[in-house]
Amino acid sequence: VIAKPLGNETVRHLLGQSTWRLIHTTMARFPLMPSENEKQALSQFLFLLSRLYPCGDCAEHFQKLLHEFPPNLNTRYEAELWACEAHNKVNKRLEKELLDCTTVHSLYDCGC
């Protein structure tokens, strides 16, 4: 983890929302059957995000999540499901509403 803790709750909230949108949209646009190179690239992105995330304590939580619940990136569906379940683990810890993982694709697929 590189960043220090982020105390501004408004910024933390907006950063979290934006990051989850990026993660879910990335998963929705991931190849249906990704190559090993594509899976490795996405895995590296997630692990680098957990190190560079501008909220230090959030980054620590994300690193722990990645360690305890490693990303399943074998297919687009599995990647989307992993992201939804990971998001729900965070929401549960923060006592927020859980996502419906059966509809998450339609929420983040840009249709392009």
Does 23 reside within a domain? no
CATH classification of the domain holding 57: 1.20.120.310
Does 9 reside within a domain? no
Does 8 reside within a domain? no
Compute CA 103 distance to the chain's CA centroid, rounded to the nearest angstrom.
16
Does 65 reside within a domain? yes
Q: Residue 3 to residues 28, 55, 65, 80, 85: CA-CA distances in angstroms? A: 28, 6, 18, 27, 25
Does 27 reside within a domain? no
112 pLDDT higher than 80: no
The tens digit of pLDDT for each residue in 11-51 reads 999 999 999 999 999 999 999 999 999 999 999 999 999 99
Does 95 reside within a domain? yes
Does 24 reside within a domain? no
The token pair that represents 20 in the structure block? 């989850």
Does 36 reside within a domain? yes
The tens digit of pLDDT for each residue in 76-102 reads 999 999 999 999 999 999 999 999 999
Range of the domain at 38: 32-108
Q: Residue 34 to residues 1, 46, 99: CA-CA distances in angstroms? A: 29, 16, 25
The tens digit of pLDDT for each residue in 44-81 reads 999 999 999 999 999 999 999 999 999 999 999 999 99
Q: Count up the domains in the chain and report the number.
A: 1
